[in-house]
Chains A and B, each alone.
Chain A
Amino acid sequence: MSAPTPSHSSGLGDRMRQLRAQGVRGYLAAWRRRQLTEGLGPAPAVLALLLIWTVFQILDSNFLSPRNLSNLSVDIVGLGLIATGLVFVLLLGEIDLSVGAASGLSAALFAVLNVRHGMSEPLAVLCAVAAACAAGALHGYIFARLGVPAFAVTLAAALAWNGLMAALLGGSGTLSFDDEGLVAKLTSHHFGHPAAAYSLAALATGLYFLAARRRSRAQRASGTQSSSVGEIAARTAALGLIAFAAAAVLNQYQGLPLAFLLFLLIVAGLDYVLRRTAYGRQVYALGGSVEVARRAGLNVAAVRVSVFAVSGTLAALGGLFLASRTSTVGLSSAPVILLISAIAAAVIGGTSLFGGRGRTWSALLGILVIQSIASGMALLGIPAAIQLVITAGVLLIAVIADSLARHARLTHTPGADQDRYPSGAGGRLGSGTQ
C-alpha cells in the first residue's frame, strides 16, 4: 500500500543531504512532481513553438523577420487576454463559452457609446469593461448560486450577448471609430526608443531572479530541496537571453509595442495574484476539490462569481484590442472562432481542462503557438478555412494530451484519487477484535 517510511528521528540536516544526494534522479522526481501540480506544463508548447518557427522559417524566410515578429507580438494580445481570463475559469475546472460574444459586445458597446453618443474614449472603455465584468459576475452568480452548469449558463449568454451586439450595431453591422484615438493607439503605438524594450527585458530578468530566489528561500525554510544558486543563475540567464533577443528584434522594427507591454503586465500581475495571494490559493483549491474547499470554510460561491467576473473583464479588454487593430467593430468576426482559439491557447499552453492546474503564462505561450500558425499560413497563402481546421487539430492534440496526463495521475498516485477509501467497512466489524 505504501512505501516503507524511514524512521522519523532523522533530523533536518540529514534529510537535506539525502535529498541533495539524489542528483539527477531527484531532479526528475521534482519535474514529475511539478507535473502533478501544474499539469503537463509549458514544455510541450515550447517545443511546438520551436518546431513551428523552424518549419515556417524554412518555408518562408520572412517568417522570423523583425516586422513579422513585431506584428505577431501585437496580434496575440486580443485573443491572449481572452485566453488569460479563461485560464481562471479552467482552473476551477469550469468553462466559459461566452467570452467570444462578451468580447464582441463590449467592443460594440465602446464604439456605440463613443461614436454615436459622443462619450469620451476613456469613459466609454470603462463602461464597456464594467459591463462585461458585470455580465461575467452574472454568469458566475447563476452558476454558483442557482446551480446551473457553467457551460449552459455561458452558452445561453453567448447567444444573448451576440444578439445584443447585433442590435447595438444596427443595420450595417459595423461601426468604425477614430483611428488616432486611445483605443486605436492600444495596438498602433510603439515605444520607439531602444531603451524601452531593453529596460523591459532587464526588468523581467531581474524580477524573475528575485522570484526564483524567494521561492528557493521558502523551500529551504520548509526543509525541502531548494534550487542551487547555480541553477537559479542558469535559468535567469536563459530567460534573460530570450528577453534581450526579443527586445533586439522588436527594436529592429518599431520598438516595443504598447499592446505587448500591457499584455505582459496583465499576465504577470494575474500570475502574481493566483500564486502569491490567498485569493489565488482559493481558486486553485476549488479546482482541486470543491468539497475540501467548502470544508475548509472557503466562500465557494464568492470565488466562483469573482472568477467569472475576471473572465468577462478580460474578454472585454481582449475585444477592445481586437477592435483596435482595425479601428472597427463588426459582426464579421465570428465569436465561436474567438472562443475556440482562446480555449485552445489556454490548453495548449499547459492549463488543464480538469481544473486546478495551470498558470496565466500558458495563455501567452498558447496564443503564440496559435498565432504563429495563423501568421505562417497567411504568409504561405493558405486559406483561412484550412487554418481553422489546423487550429482545431492542434486543440484536439492538446486536449488529448491533457486527458492522458490526467489519466496517468489518477492511476499512478493514491493522493490524486479523491475517493481513496472504499466505502462501507461494515464487514470488518467482528474481525477487528484481536
Chain B
Amino acid sequence: MTQASAPPLLALRGVHKSFGAVHALTDVELEIRSGEVVAVMGDSGAGKSTLVKVIAGVEPADAGAFRWKGRPVDLARPHHTRDLGIAAVYQDSALCHNLDVVGNLFLGSEIRRLGVLDEGTMGRRTRSLLDSLPVQIPDVRAPVASLSSDQLQIVSVARALLGEPELLLLDEPTQALDTRQVSNLLDLVERLRDDGLGVLLISHTMGDIKAVADRVAVLRLGRNNGVFDVNTTPHEQIISAITGATDHAVSQRTANREEYGP
C-alpha cells in the first residue's frame, strides 16, 4: 500500500513523559504511515492515552524527537498539531456538554463572518459531515448533553475529521458502543485508511484490531514491547507481549537500529 522509501507520516523516537514520579512513557518509538492503521495495545496504565495526548500536543513530551513526513517538528501545542494535520478522539472529556453539536465540532476553529460566528455555514458543514458518518444525529442544534453515548462518540469522531486531518488518533473509540455500532465505526476507519489517512487505533479488543489494523505496537509499563504484523502473528503472542510474558523491548530496539542505520 505504501512504498517503503517514502518517509513515514509520523515517526517518534525516544519519547519520555512523566507525571511527577510516574513515568508514563519511557523511550517510546512509533511510526505511522499514510494509508495504514497502527493499533496500540497495552494493559491499563501502559501509557496508551498518554501517547495520544503527547502526539496531539495536549500533554507535550518531556523529551523525544518527532518527524512529520520526514521533517523534524515540535508537537508542543494543540493548535500546532492541528495545523500539521493531526486530530485526536480522546478516551474521556471529548466534548463540552453545554454546547450544541455545531459548537462542539467547531470549537477552537469557528467560522466567522465580519467577526461574528457564521452559524449558517457551520451548521451546513456539520450536517454534511455527520450525514457521511454511520450514526444518525437528528438535530445538530441539540446540546450534546442530550445525545446517547454512540452519538457522542460519533460527534467526537466528526470533530476530529472536521479539519480534514492526515493522521487520526482514536483512543478506545469502540468502548461505549454495541456490536453493530463497533462494526460501523471500524468500517469508517477502513474507509479513512483507504482515503490515505494514517490512523492510530487504541483498543483492548483483539477482534477490532484483527479487523482493521495493519500492525500492532504493544506498550508495557510505558515502554515499547514489540511491533507485530497483525496478519501473520498469532494473537497469543500479542497477548503475552501485553501481559509481559515475553519481553520484546530488546529485539525491538535492535530491529530499529538496523532500519535507521548508524
Contact = CB atoms under 8 A, between A and B. Distances in A.
A5 B103 contact: no
Interface string B195-214: 00000000111111000000
Contact of B136 (A5, A297, A356, A425): A5
A294 B148 contact: no
Contact of A5 (B120, B135, B146): B135
A280 to B, nearest CB: 8
A295 B176 contact: no
The size bracket of the interface on A is: 35 or more
Contacts of A409: 145
B154 to A, nearest CB: 10
Contacts of B147: 414-415
Interface string B111-127: 01001110111111011
A297 B77 contact: yes
Given A2-B148, A432-B204, A432-B207, A224 B141 contact: yes
A80 B2 CA distance: 64
Highest count of chain B CB atoms <10 Å: which of A7, A224, A281, A417: A224
Given A297-B82, A428-B204, A429-B239, A288 B96 contact: yes
B107 A281 contact: yes
Interface string B140-181: 111111111111100000000000000000001001101001
A297 B98 contact: no
Interface string B37-58: 0000001110000000000101
B92 A418 contact: yes
Interface string A288-322: 11011111111000000000000000000000000
A285 B148 contact: no
Contact of B150 (A5, A12, A218, A424): A5
Given A225-B139, A296-B108, A414-B149, A289 B204 contact: no
A413 B144 CA distance: 9
B206 A221 contact: no
A289 B120 contact: no
B94 interface: yes
A37 interface: yes
A15 interface: yes
A3 B149 CA distance: 9
Interface of B: 43-45, 56, 58, 77-79, 82, 88, 90-100, 102-103, 107-108, 110, 112, 115-117, 119-124, 126-127, 131, 133-136, 138-152, 172, 175-176, 178, 181, 203-208, 235, 239, 242-243
Closest 4 CB pairs of A and B: A222-B123, A288-B96, A432-B205, A296-B108
Given A224-B141, A433-B207, 9 more contacts: A277-B115, A281-B110, A285-B99, A295-B56, A296-B107, A297-B82, A298-B107, A418-B93, A420-B152
